[in-house]
Each structure stands twice: as C-alpha cells, then as structure tokens.
Structure 1
C-alpha cells in the first residue's frame, strides 16, 4: 500500500525572494514507519521526480514527526540518501525540511542544509506548496474531463462549457485522501471545524474527503448529502454550527444560490473545485484557472453539440456519434510482413474447424514452423535470449508447435555441447512427475490468440514444479493474433511476472491484433437467420407468397454455402478483389488471384482493430462514456471492391455500423445502399446480398424511416423474381415487413 504522496512544487523564499523548486513528500500516518521504510519512500519519491529539486520538504503528522527526527539523526542512512541529491560531489539538493501538520496548521520541525558554502535555509511559504499538491492531484488523477472538439457539457445548473469536474477522483490512494482531508480542514480553520455539528455535502462522492477532515480534527459531526438542486432549495440555515461543502462548480451558481436564496453565510460555504475563485460566494479550495489557465479557460460556442450531465455522470442524450474513416493511419505495422509470409497459403479458410470449434481466422501451424524467415529468427532467439538452464520443452498440441519445439530442442542441444537434448513434451500428454524437477522450462506455441492455453500451462507449471527449485521459465510464441494490443500486453504481464525479482522470459516473432474471435459473430448470426427463414411466416402485400417462400429458401441455401466465406453475388458467383487495395501494398502486385478470402478479411479486421487501438483520438474507433463512435459511410466508397465491403460488414462490431442515432449518416448510408441494391447485377453492387444480410441481422442499422423507405423501394423493384437478396430484405425487421404497403 502507498505510504506517501509526493509532488513537485515551486515557490519563493519569503526572506530573499529567491525562486526554488521543492520535492514535497507527505507521509500518511495510517501505519507504522520504520527507518528503512522512511528512506526507501524518500528515495522512491526522488526517483519519480522529473528534475532534481533545490530542497526536499517532508510533511507528516505529530505521530510520525518524532520518529522522522530520530531517523534523520542516523548519519549513515541520512548520508546515503543525501548523496543521491549530489552531482559530481556537489550537493544539488541543498535543503531538507520537516513540517508537522497539526490541526492548527503546518509547523516547521527542523531544517537541514547539505552544503556548508550556501546561505541559511529558505523561509518557505509552506501553505503555497501544499496548495500546489492539490493542483498536482487535479492534473494527475484526471479530475477534469474535457469535452471533445465540437461538443460541450450542459451542467444541471444550466451552465454550458467544455469541462466536467469529477471531484470524487481527487484522491486515488490513502495518502492522497489524507492530504485532501487535511487541506479541507486547513482551508476552513480548525477552531471553526471543532465546533461543527453538521456538514452538508452535494454529493456522496466527496463523503470520504469530509469524513477524513472531521476525523483529523477529532470532530464527531453528522454528514448530510442533499444530492441535487431540488433538494438544495429545501435547505435553510440550521441553528447549530454547520458547513456546506460543494464538490465542484464551473460558475459558482450553487454557492451563490445558497447565499442569496437559502440564506447561508459566505463563511459557511466551501467549494472543493471551481473554474475560478474570483467573484464567488464562500471559499474555493482549488481554482482551475490557477492549475492551468490555458486548458481550463474556455467560453462555450452556441453551435456546439451538448453532452447532458446527470449528477456525477454524463450521458449521450441527443448526441450524434463521431464517424471515423479508415485510411493509412490505420495500417497495422506488422500487416505487410504477415501477408508476405502467410497471405498466399498460410491461412486456413474462414471458419475452419479447430479443436471442434469454427475459428473465423486461423493459421496453418505447419506453415509457421517451416517458414524460413521465422526459422532464422528462431535460431537467433535461442542463441541470444533462451537460458541455458532449459532442460524441458512443453508445446501445445498441434503439428506446428511440435515441430518448433523439436527445432528449439535441437538448437539448445547444439549450443550446449556435451549436454543431453532437452525433453520435448506435448502439453496434453505431460507426465508432471517427470517434469517436476526441471531446471528450466520452455513453453512453445506456433500460434496464439489471447493466450488462454498459455495461461493454463503457466498455472499447471506453478502447481506441479518443485517449489524448492527456482526454475526459470520462458514462453515462445511464433505468431500472435490477439484480440487487441491491450490483451496481448496483459498476457505478457501474466506470463512474465512471478514471485521472484526477475521476470520470466517471453519471445514473440510476429504479433498482429485482429479483433474478437467470439463464437457469436456475423457468421453465427447468419446461421440463426437461416434457421429463422425456414420457420417464420413472412407476408408482404407486394410480393406473392410463392416468391417469398422461394426467396427464403435461397437465403438459407446462400448462408449454408457461404459458411467458409462470404455470401455470393446475386448471380451466384464469388465476391472478388481488384488491384490497388491500400493494405496489401505491393505484396500481391503480380499475383492478386493468390490472395485468399481469409487474407482480405484479415487485412480489414486488423485495420479495424488498429483503428480501435490507435492513440490519436480523432482517428480512434472506440466509444467512450460520453461519445459513441461509428465507421463512416465513406469507408464503403474508399474500399469499393465487393469483397472488401463484405469484410468490413463482418469485421465491425455491433454498434460500429449503427447509424440510427445520426440522421445525417443514416441518410448517407441509405442513399449508398439504394445505389448498391439497384445495381446488384453490376460490379458496383456485387456485395448487395452481404449488405442485405447486415440489415437483416441488425449489424447495420439506419433510422427507422430511412430503413423503411429503402427496403420498400428495393422490395418493390425485386418483387417479381425470387432471390436471396429479396428474401433477406423481407426479413429486415420482420414485424414491420409483414405490414409493408408500397405504393
């Protein structure tokens, strides 16, 4: 648990007016503190400092100050720490201070000068340094949420601006909580705090701050939360000693109303965080304009889109989604290398059955284990990074992993002249009794998704290896196809960390995040749709029953045939790709026909995942608490090959193609779909069946009136001939389709 809260502050000496930089270290008094912990915490705080300060200011309660004085008198430990503040034998950190934080305020206990050649110690304005600690918490703990460009927050008071303050996030650790609580008592004054009988707060999110302040002052006052503006208007000043603490404000409106309308005194009102402390009722603990005026000083534009705030949270009521267009910034860095090595024959067909379950994307593991580029990397990896202690190799149960494991065992045996070749075991057949005394274990897999099997092996090793032998482990993955960059990082962290001070080894050759591989995907949704088409009664006032039934049969047949690929064109032929696909580069320049359907899907899926993982918020395909994000309809114009349309529709998550909350994007997408459906016999509309399937499974959504208009027009144009396209469109929103009446 954290014992200290440290921050850097700048100040001015009261006597000399010299500017100084200070490292302030506040010690929480929740636990005991011995001399080693004390100096360890100081050293850790100094290491985390961006620059070496002029002085170190230690702040503690009376409980710890006597102990710290004793620890500071230990010349050996003190000299060791002070040396860390020297450069070329000259003290860079010249002064050390200890302040006692008592209920009456901050009192200097001692000061120490590390350089005999300098003038006496600074006379510090300690309260200013403490105030900068509060500013540090605001910036480091993301207390202030800034609205995206083109948006603003509408507060319960009616104020509209670009910031939302979450005062409850002010402290994330125990020392930070204590620091904020003591700062509240310091701002209000101990003498007045000691007389309190009740404290009113506007949010339970700040309850722990107020309770900490009361506990520090040893005051047993009641805390009452009034939650909202409506409840605030019921308050009247009680005859007992009281205080009102407001969590946050951007205009000072609540404090002003409490004074003007409810009759509370300015001296009884404290706002923890406000945009400004000028022209405010009561006292403001933290003014954002003092933290960083350039960030928090903003005037709202009447044309911004509103994000409505509800209490301590925000919602996206009436807030249109932000659209993201795929492009060069979303090119996965390892994609071209992957395509070059495996794009022609390394991928299985889509939905290949692996271990009894269909996998949308999977690799032929033998292609990995026999890849010349990989084998060259493997030889170098074994030479440079695999420990000589390895005597056991455990591999996952597939041909590629077994071949890699044996190759590694041979390489280790070659390097360890005269030593026995490491034992190779397939995980499912491991005899743990023979492995328990291993001196080193290497775990090998040819292809890993999010590493569930590697985690399982790691747990079994922990249970079965001899705990008395400090056995090093190393995990080697040839190809990683994780869901996201984050899930792969979590896997590495899980496998590398252990009870010792050293990390287990982890080697990876080629990692390409490609999105989710859940059992529930567009293929499974279509399979469910096919079953529905055989049992549901679809009626239409414009399509004869025989045409409807024949069309539904064609839907079921097309979905069944497309399980290992995509739905065909309306003439029954397969979807195709033309040259110039941005994410293929020059890999298939002269032999485009060698690119598999799975290859095209992998390229789009990895680009979509890159869009979700990208750090640039403007190009990030990831929704937040206050903003939903969709894929721009422009993507279907940029990537205009029919197979790419199918890949995008199937690679997107539900919600990323939901245009129902944006009239503008819904209209654009509706106009595009109308052109696709009306030209379904031409190359431009060759993916019409895929688009109709996306509408029928609700993977692709439009506003209700746009969807009705679109489906009505297209059904009317297709009503004479049975087709899978017609059948899918008849299944879009079945209860509504049964009542279609098209003029």
Structure 2
C-alpha cells in the first residue's frame, strides 16, 4: 500500500492566461521512504502526460528529511528531474492548522512565488477532495424500485456515503488536512470530538494525529452519537470544548440539531458531504450537488409503491432491520491454519502491540522476526526452496532493509555454498540497490525478506532490479507474510511474479496469514489515550496507581513480549488458554497470548472476506446492513484470553450493539455475570471487558448501559481499583455522553 495519495489538478493562478496541469502527491502518516515517493512519481509520470507543475505535500515534521532525500537520493532526484519542460516543482510542509508551514522549490523553469504557492495549495486541497469523492463514487443511487428514507424524514432516490471518502490512510490524512483548514484554532483545548457515525472515527483520529505531529498539544476523545438516534440526549458539560464531524447531509438538519442540543456554534461543526457550499450551522468540505451535477432538491420523492430503505447511521436496512449477529465457528476457520501454526514449534513468533526494528509505529499484531531464524522447519523450507526454485547461476542476493532479512540472506549464502554452487558475489541491502552499477548479464537474483506486510519494499526492490539486472531471472523468498487481507497479498504476489512477456518470476512464501487492518489506532493505542486522559483528571489514588503502572507496562512497544499485553485477572494471574481450543490443537494449557490473538484475528478476517462462507455467516457489513459479532461468542468461547482477543481484534463496528435492544440486553447480561464473578474463571477477562466499555470499542444501547452500570454493580467491585475506575468512567459516558 502506497504511503502517498496522488491526483491531477487543473487551475489557473493569479497572472496565468490558462490552466496549469498539476500533479499533487500527498504523504500519509507512515514514515517517509524515498523509494516509495520515487515509485509514485515514476508510475504517474510514465503513464500520463507530463504535468506543468509538481506539488509534494508532507507533514511539517517530515519536511526537512524529505528535502534532504530529494537532494541526496539518486533515484528520487532522477524521478523529480523527469520532464525538462516542467515549470515548477515544489515541496510543501503542512503545519498543524492544515496550512503551508514551509515551502521550497525543487527546480523548474518558472519557480512560483510564496503567494502563488499558497494559492495553489488551497486549490489543490479542494480539487483533491473532489477527486476522492468522484473516484470513490460517494453519491449512491437507490436500487431499482427503492427509495431511501433519511433520519430527517426526507425521501430521496440518492444518498451520500461519506465512509467511501476514507479508503486509504493517505486519503484519510488528506481529508483531515482539509478539516484542519476549516476549524483552525478551534481544535485547541477541545476535550471531545463528536462524530455522527463510527465511519468518521478514522478521520477524527487523523485530524488529531496530524495536529499532534506538528507540535499542537491536543488530545480529545472521539465519541459517536450515532446520528439522530443519540442526539437528543447530548448535553456536553463544556460546549466550548467540543467539535463535531458530520459525515453527510442533504438538508443540514443534523448539523442544526446538533448545534441546538449540544449548544455548539457552527464554526465548530464540519460536514464532509453536503449539497451547499456553506451553511450557518457548519463548515462544508464538498458540495456534491455541484460536483456531480445533480439537483438534489428536485429529486422524485414520490415513487408510489417503491420499497423504502431506512437510513440508520452509516448502515442501511429495509425498514430499519436490526444488525445481523454472527457466531464464530469452525465454518470460519482458516483452512490448514492449525498445521501451519504447528510449524513454529516452541518458538513464539507473534507479538502484540509491537514495533519491529525500523517500524515507525507499533502494530496490534506483528511478527517477532528474531524468532524466525530459530525455527527449524523454516530453515528446512529455505533449503528446499534453494534446491528447487533458485537457479544455480544465482549471482546476487538482495535482502530487505532490516536485520532479520540480512540474517536470512546470510543463511541463504551459506547454504548455496554448501550445495557446491558458486558463491554469490555478495549480499546487497535493498537501500543500496539504487546506487549499484547496472549489470548486463543474465545471472539469477535471489530476493529475500523475513517479514512482509504490504510488500512495498519488495515492490521497490523489483523496480530497482529493472535497472540493476534487467535480464536476470528473479526468485523471491518470503518468510512470513502478515497482510491485511488474503486478496491484498495475492495482488502483491502477482505483481512480484510479473516478469518479461516470455516468463514469470518465482515467488515463494513459507507462512502467510491475513489478520485484518492493524494500522492506525489499535486497542492498545486507545487504551493508552484513555489512561492518559484519566490520569490528567486526577482520579482516585488507588485507581491512579494502577493506571500509572498499566500505562508504563504497555508503553514499551519495541521489545516483543516485554510485558503481557492482555490484562491479567483481578487476582494478578496472566490469561492462559485452557485445553481443547477449537481453532488450535492444544492438549495442554497455552501461555502464548499473541498466538491466540493471531488465530482469532485470522478467523475474524476470514469471516469478513471469504466468499465461500455462506452469506448469512459472513462478518461483512454492506451499505444495506450492519453485521456484528453475536454476544454468544463470549459464552461459547469462555476462556478469558479468547474473550480478550475477540474484544481487541474485532473492529469496533463489529462490537457495536447500540442499535439493537435485543443484542444489547444479551450482552449486558453477559457483562454483568463477568463483572460479578471476576474472581472466578468465568470472569477472568473482566478488566478487558471494562476497558472495551471505557474506550467504547464495545457499545450497547444506552438503556441497557445504565441498567448494567448501576450502583449495585459498582459497589460489588469497589475493592478492585481497575474495575471500579474503568466502569465508573464508562457509566459516566452512558449517563452524560461525555468525558469527565
């Protein structure tokens, strides 16, 4: 997945006699890599007519590093200098208010002035928003014979789906920059950002994270009021400390109602998609009516006999159908995963909330690459692949830019020698490949990578080899692949395999497992943010002592297994897996929490994307129906470590029971039993459940939330600081819809 979002914009600046064609490349949150920017520029400039100008947009914190790389990285310099007729090449560093913080020319025959750069930047942001909206088709038409009924009561044959704006991380960041431009200094001191649907959560997080990356001290919580269903109860204690992001509107009614009930001025409300350029009660990012050339006001509202599809927050169901609940079972198990996991032997391969060496942020689920080279079955597999798939004429071994891949390359070099074949000419680090002298021979190249997620670095290596060794056959050996989805990894493999017309390259992977999306705010990120917030509130000393210890324990993300990532029982014992787990052959107790989490993550992802699973069992929401995990999952799988893994690996929308009184009632009864019996096996994950409620990863209907978190329950856990503190905070949210 690219770290950049790019598009073409067309506009005229002051003094221009015609429109400029501008290539805009915008960076996301991931760490800047010169190779990735080079690949983006090359692919775009090769496939399209050269633009007049190139604008590269990066967070202000990355500006100096990107500027340095633009002048020192040979491949990037070559890509930037492509097209001698380009007027201007500009690097822009965006500050915490979404405005130009720094700007430098990267060459061109007609450099822009400072005022022209600022004007071009504003125009580029607006055209980028339009590009995203059109490219992802945020304007949805009702199926034949149907009309949509909005919560406001309007009946239309179209609706606006703002969730489709937020497809990739780089696009989310780009939209977040546009939001920052609208709200300006209003973000300072904000305690809570309200969102109308959970689909807006990534955008709210991106707005905060971008402001923080530029040095602004902001740390608001993000809360959904679930469109019209929860707006009546909104009574924020400090209206001047809130902001609101609304996904879409065709009437402006939701913004107006929020402004009234939350006593929030319109300059603190932003609507992403609207049919107006501006409203008194909110800022507007994108005017869909103008963009798509439709007259929303004049749509046919009648359609006698048409089936009515009722809008319910970000999901849609005929006559407001309740969420469909899915119970995980063997039907959702990943084929052959039990055997594959058995290959690890006694080594603990998975790590929770871990930032591998060189990674820019921790991932909820990661691979401890250092353990990989200790697995005998992996080394046996490498030996087999070297004999069966790697040409005997292999002359070079290229490895990914990390220590474990370097070790894997050295191991391959030794094994090739032991096979009696000529020793390769040496090991080449991927980061050094761009500066190598091109080879004209047709000797083989072996590319090794210990751990792969998106495959970006392997794609970069593949591109560089087109220059370094264009005639050489290639073999890719990959240790462990942990992609977001199976389909994403199949695409990665297909791209790496693509060789000259006469043959394909070999791609071999020892172990791959799709584990869902673990970028952005993981459950541990949310927990750290919650603990910081509570400690700032000067909570009771016993709870503060626990919160400080917990925060310290989960702050070390650079050492795999440095501390158990899942909460212990209230008696202090770590969560373990008892015998006979349906997704794993374990005749004895299992203490590897990360392995259990990995199996649950893989099972959930398989339930989401495997089209061979019966449709009514798939864990996949659509525009016309919301799908959740059934509360029965927490009774069927009653080991605390499994329950904790479900709570942390599931997407928040899959634990959102708020729109169903029946599911909320079932979940409330399960939660009460867990909290009341927290000293017994059935309640060993009590602190995990309390954390899920406090961070709002799990939500139940307000009525049932109040019944659950009553005085009697809190009194029963008064002697357990962590339970009492977390549940007391969760109760505050259910009663008052805000942070303390």
Q: Normalization by structure 2: what TM-score?
A: 0.54
2:596 to 584, 590, 600: 600
- Give the distance between the partners of 1:153 and 1:659, measured in 2 at CA: 30
Partner in structure 1 of residue 445 of structure 2:
441
Match of 2:581 in 1: 581
Per-residue Cα deviation, 1:503-551 (whole angstroms, up to 9, x for no partner):
222111221112223142000100001101111267xxxxxxxxx4432
Query: Which of 359, 364, 385 does residue 381 from structure 1 map onto?
Result: 385
State the shift of 1:308 in Å: 3.7
**Take 1:524 and 1:592, find their aligned partners in 2: how far apart are those partners?**
29
Q: Contact 1:496 / 1:504 at 8 angstroms: preserved in 2?
A: yes
Offset, 1:721: 3.1
Which residue of structure 1 lines up, in the alignment, with residue 542 of structure 2? 550
Distance 1:438 1:323, change over 3 A: farther
Match of 1:518 in 2: 519
Secondary structure (helix, strand or coil) at the match of 1:727 reads: helix
Give the equivalent residue in structure 2 for 1:692.
690
SS at 1:342's partner residue?
A: coil
Deviation at 1:678, TM superposition (A): 1.0
CA distance in 2, matches of 1:520, 1:636: 24
Corresponding position of 1:215 = none
Q: How does 1:84-163 map to 2 (within 5 A)?
A: 155=147
Kindly state the Cα deviation for residue 642 of structure 1 after the two structures are TM-superposed.
0.9
Q: Deviations over 1:373-395 (max 9, x none)?
A: 33333333233322345311111
Offset from partner CA, 1:554-598 (integer Å, 9 cap, x none):
23433443564111222222222211211112xx31x434x4111
Q: Could you say which residue in structure 1 is the equivalent of 2:664?
A: 666
Q: Please state how far the C-alpha of 1:643 moved relative to its aligned partner.
A: 1.2
Contact 2:389–2:475 (CA<8 Å) still a contact in 1?
A: no
Tell me how far 1:658 sits from its aligned partner.
0.4
Q: Please tell me whether the aligned partners of residues 448 and 482 of structure 1 are also in contact (alpha carbons under 8 angstroms).
A: yes
User: 1:499, 1:406 → 2: CA distance?
Assistant: 29
Q: How many Å apart are 1:720 and its aligned residue?
A: 4.5
| CA 1:520–1:596: 2 relative to 1, 3 Å | same
- The Cα of 1:663 is off from its aligned counterpart by 1.3
Q: Give the deviation of 1:478 after TM superposition.
A: 1.9
Is residue 494 of structure 2 the alignment partner of residue 493 of structure 1?
yes
In 2: Cα distance, 1:428 partner to 1:608 partner: 36
Match of 2:193 in 1: none
Q: Cα offset for 1:471?
A: 2.9
CA drift at 1:330: 1.6
Task: Provide the C-alpha distance between the structure 1 equivalents of 2:712 and 2:460, rounded to a whole number of angstroms.
Answer: 52
| 1:533 has 2:534 as partner | yes
Q: Is the 8 A contact 2:714 2:724 kept in 1?
A: no
Partner of 1:339 in structure 2?
341
Counterpart of 1:432 (choices 431, 435, 456) is 435
Distance 1:309 1:737 in 2: 26
1:491 and 1:377, CA in 2 relative to 1: closer, same or farther beyond 3 A? same
Q: Alpha carbons of 1:526 and 1:436: their partners in 2 closer, same or farther (altered >3 Å)?
A: farther
Rounded Cα–Cα distance in structure 2 between residues aligned with 1:386 and 1:706: 61
Kindly state the Cα deviation for residue 319 of structure 1 after the two structures are TM-superposed. Answer: 2.7
Match of 1:644 in 2: 642
- The alpha-carbon distance between structure 1 residues 339 and 485, as it changes in their structure 2 partners (threshold 3 A), is same
Deviation track 1:610-669 (CA, whole Å, cap 9, x = no partner) reads 211221222211111111111111111111011111111111111010000111111100
SS, match of residue 730 in structure 2: coil
- Give the whole-Å Cα distance in 2 for the aligned partners of 1:714 and 1:382: 66
**Cα deviations across residues 196-250 of structure 1 (Å, max 9, x unaligned)?**
xxxxxxxxxxxxxxxxxxxxxxxxxxxx9888996598xxxxxxxxxxxxxxx9x
2:550 and 2:352 mapped to 1: Cα distance? 16
Q: Among 605, 608, 612, which residue is 1:612 paired with? A: 608
**Match for residue 63 of structure 1?**
none
Q: Is the 8 A contact 2:676 2:716 kept in 1?
A: no
Structure 2 counterpart SS, 1:582: coil
> For residues 705-729 of structure 1, what are the alpha-carbon distances to aligned partners after superposition, in whole Å with 9 as ceiling and x for unaligned?
1111111245542474351001001
Note if contact 1:392-1:435 (Cα within 8 Å) is conserved in structure 2. Answer: no
CA separation of 1:342 and 1:316: change in aligned 2, threshold 3 A = farther
Number of aligned positions between the proteins: 445
CA drift at 1:407 = 3.6
Q: Does structure 2 conserve the Cα–Cα contact (< 8 Å) formed by 1:349 and 1:598?
A: yes
CA contact (8 A) 2:634 2:643 kept: yes
Contact preservation (8 Å) 2:652, 2:697 = yes
In the alignment, structure 1 segments of 5+ residues that lack a partner are 1-144, 158-164, 167-223, 234-248, 255-299, 301-305, 539-547
Within 1, Cα distance between the matches of 2:299 and 2:343? 66
Max Rg structure? 1
Contact 2:310/2:317 (8 A) holds in 1: yes
> What corresponds to 1:283 in structure 2?
none
Helix, strand or coil: the match of 1:391?
strand
Q: For residue 322 of structure 2, what is the aligned residue in structure 1?
A: 320
Q: Does residue 458 in structure 1 map to residue 462 in structure 2?
A: yes
Q: Distance in 2 between matches of 1:579 and 1:713?
A: 37
Q: 1:655 corresponds to which residue?
A: 653
SS at match of 2:503: coil
SS in structure 2 opposite 1:503?
A: coil
Work out the CA distance in 1 between the residues paired with 2:729 and 2:656: 18
Aligned residues: CA RMSD:
3.8
Q: 1:698 deviation in Å?
A: 0.6
| Whole-Å separation in 1 of the counterparts to 2:638 and 2:353 | 24
Query: 1:490 aligns to what SS in structure 2?
Result: helix
Provide the residue aligned with 1:350 in structure 2: 352
CA 1:632–1:461: 2 relative to 1, 3 Å: same
Mapped contact 2:347–2:375 kept (Cα < 8 A): no
Matches within 5 A, 1:240-389: 307-308=309-310, 318-342=320-344, 344-347=346-349, 349-355=351-357, 357-389=361-393
Structure 1 distance, partners of 2:351, 2:656, is: 29
Change (3 A) 1:654 1:456: farther
Gaps of 5+ in 2: 1-140, 150-156, 159-292, 556-562
C-alpha separation in 2, matches of 1:338 and 1:153: 49
